[in-house]
Structure 1
Amino acid sequence: MQFDTWLLFAGAAIALSMVPGPNNLLAMFNGARYGVVSAAVGGVGRIMAFALMIVIAATGLGVILAASETAFLIIKWVGAVYLVWLGVKSWLAKVHDVDADTVTGSGQVVLMAYPGAFTLARTEFLTAIGNPKAILIFTAFFPQFLDPAQAYGAQFTVMGLTFLAMESSVLLVYGLLGGQVKGLIRSARHMRMLNRVSGALLVGAGVLLAFTERTRSSA
């Protein structure tokens, strides 16, 4: 892959990664609830899902999935229902009132119980893997930068690693944005407001995904 082609691909990849989709919302709200490190830990699940999708696209299975209306609809509706469920769960999440039991030895207020690294990563993984638009991006976007005169596998590997690097950088940016909000959350009322905003946005993302058409998402 020529360096100028790679630069063009990298710029397009980071632009795609910056779009405020469900995974970026999760990174931001995880940062706001639990801190930047937790947002990064959760993002591991997203990167694993995208890596799997890139492998699927590279082996040609992505073309089959992209061409299948049935596969698209199944993934779309499962993903939409999962996002709505996450939104409702966020809206109803238990928040601790500030008392002696919610203050750590360092004086930090703990308003929500930490769900664990595995849960955060699993949530991001399932959110990413349940978005059929991602597989369409990998099957339609990547081939535009392939040079038929060069080895296919090496080029796809470079593009895949570049995309994952850009995605990792962007999720950290969203986590940092959330981390800035974390410092402003001083009470249970603030945390409940955050959870309701998060819940409403995730439900909205699920509804939008449910109404997504295959031809529109591949554009």
Structure 2
Amino acid sequence: MDISLLTFSLMAVVVVMTPGPTVLLALSNGSRFGFTAAGYGIAGAAISDAVLIAAAGVGLGAVLAASGFVFNVVKWVGVAYLIWLGVQMLRTSGELHLRDHPAGDQNPDKPRPYPAIFRKSFLVAVTNPKGLLFFTAFLPQFLTPEEPMLMQYVTLAIVFIAIDVAVMAAYATLGARAMTFLSARGALWIDRVCGGFLVTLGLGLAFLRRSAA
């Protein structure tokens, strides 16, 4: 690779630190369910990174950029899911399920929504066409044509996912820590703020065009 991994890492940090749907979900999950449960969402988002990078590597990003029909199908699925998820968070009751903080859990025997947490974070990332278009445009800048492509993609994927996981873990920790001094009403407002941002991101995605992605 002509450009060092350090440069790639610094750019990845800037990209990941910009609040997006998965970061907002990590914050919300940490505040409502605790860090352990939020980890399932982080895992879902990390797997979505791997899926999108693999898709970009095999050229699906180019197909998305070239086909208006495919792009619009993926875009509107993403728009609908983001807005739906945001509305659900806006309508939340603020109920806590903190396995990490048993004192705040009024029903410790209640099943934990780990699969739902994983699924939401995975789907919110993988249905966003901006992710695939971003990787399609971003990763090739750090590839050397003379070297094996597979190993280069794997290396960049590992670095990017590690940074993404670290940032989401920081937000999840922030949310979980906040619940040591916030009440259930605090969790309610965290959910509502994050839900409002998700709806806003969904509406913004609705205006996304291929030329601007």
Aligned to 1:199: 195
Aligned to 2:19: 20
Letter in 1 for 2:172: G
Aligned to 1:47: 46
Alpha-carbon distance change, 150 to 103 in structure 1, aligned in 2, over 3 angstroms: closer
Query: 2:31 touches 2:177 (CA, 8 Å); kept in 1?
Result: yes
Structure 1 position 61, deviation (Å): 2.4
1:185-211: per-residue Cα shift (whole Å, max 9, x none)? Answer: 22x433332332222222112111112
Query: 1:18 touches 1:170 (CA, 8 Å); kept in 2?
Result: yes
Quick one: which of 104, 108, 112 aligns to 2:103? 108
Matched, 1:181 2:178: yes
Structure 1 position 71, deviation (Å): 1.6
Cα distance in 1 for partners of 2:115, 2:164 equals 20
Aligned to 1:147: 144
Query: 2:34 touches 2:98 (CA, 8 Å); kept in 1?
Result: no
Consecutive unaligned residues of structure 2, counting only runs of 5 or more, are none
Count of matched residue positions in the alignment of Structure 1 and Structure 2: 210
Query: 2:9 touches 2:160 (CA, 8 Å); kept in 1?
Result: yes
Quick one: which of 96, 120, 134 aligns to 1:123? 120
Alpha-carbon distance change, 185 to 214 in structure 1, aligned in 2, over 3 angstroms: same
State the superposition RMSD in angstroms.
2.4
Structure 1 position 111, deviation (Å): 7.0
Aligned to 2:37: 38
Letter in 2 for 1:80: V
Q: Report runs of 4+ in structure 1 exceeding 6 Å deviation.
A: 111-114
TM-score (norm 1): 0.86
Aligned to 2:205: 209
Cα distance in 1 for partners of 2:31, 2:6 equals 33
Alpha-carbon distance change, 194 to 78 in structure 1, aligned in 2, over 3 angstroms: same
Alpha-carbon distance change, 53 to 179 in structure 1, aligned in 2, over 3 angstroms: same
Query: 1:89 touches 1:199 (CA, 8 Å); kept in 2?
Result: yes
Aligned to 1:83: 82
> Of the two, which has the highest radius of gyration?
1
Aligned to 2:131: 134
Structure 1 position 109, deviation (Å): 2.2
Consecutive unaligned residues of structure 1, counting only runs of 5 or more, are none
Cα distance in 2 for partners of 1:115, 1:67 equals 42
Quick one: which of 162, 168, 172 aligns to 2:169? 172
1:161-214: per-residue Cα shift (whole Å, max 9, x none)? Answer: 11111111111111112122222322x433332332222222112111112222
Cα distance in 1 for partners of 2:52, 2:8 equals 18
